[in-house]
């Protein structure tokens, strides 16, 4: 017969393994695609500046000079804004930045992408949860906090 302590150890290990599984595997289809970023799925756990404006669930405005700088200045300040939110930058090129954010409680990982769209003079954004159906507005909140931080 197992003791209470053994059950507690098994429960702790199970909880740790399940929380570690929340990070998920990074999608293999991220990055610049054509003239933009990957579209959001139908689930309400993603926001994108490239979603149709009438899509209240997914659309979020791109980052623009309204955030207090020209496109190049805004792009150069983007990494510091992400770091202030404790978001880990994974990949950076001249026109693309990919980062990962982890939720505090459940340790879910969200993928953030930014595309310097010189043709439209904006930074296109996409933020999506790797797992689950809903993010309770966390991706939208994170991008809006970044927008405010960059002003």
DSSP state of 65: G
pLDDT at position 87 is: 96
Q: Are 148 and 62 in contact (CB under 8 A)?
A: no
pLDDT at position 50 is: 96
- As a whole number of angstroms, the distance between CA 128 and CA 144 comes to 14
DSSP state of 22: G
Rounded average pLDDT per 10-residue block, the chain, 151 residues:
57 42 70 88 94 96 82 95 95 96 80 96 94 79 94 84
Which range of residues forms the domain containing residue 89?
4-150
Sheet strands (E) in the chain: 46-48, 88-92, 96-102, 109-117, 122-129
* Residue 123, burial from CB neighbour count under 10 angstroms (0-12, 13-18, 19+): buried
CATH code (residue 78): 3.30.310
For the chain, what is the domain count?
Answer: 1
pTM for the full model? 0.81
């Amino acid at each position: 017969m197992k003791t209470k302590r053994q059950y507690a150890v098994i429960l702790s290990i199970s909880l740790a393994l399940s929380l570690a599984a929340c990070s998920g595997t990074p999608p293999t289809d991220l990055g610049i695609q054509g003239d933009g970023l990957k579209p959001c799925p139908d689930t309400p756990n993603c926001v994108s500046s490239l979603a149709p404006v009438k899509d209240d669930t997914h659309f979020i405005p791109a980052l623009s000079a309204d955030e207090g700088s020209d496109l190049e200045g805004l792009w150069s300040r983007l990494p510091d804004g992400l770091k202030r939110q404790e978001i880990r930058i994974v990949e950076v090129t001249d026109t693309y930045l990919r980062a990962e954010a982890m939720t505090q409680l459940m340790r879910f990982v969200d993928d953030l992408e930014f595309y310097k769209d010189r043709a439209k003079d904006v930074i296109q954004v996409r933020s999506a949860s790797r797992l689950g159906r809903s993010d309770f507005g966390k991706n939208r909140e994170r991008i809006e906090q970044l927008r405010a931080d960059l002003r």
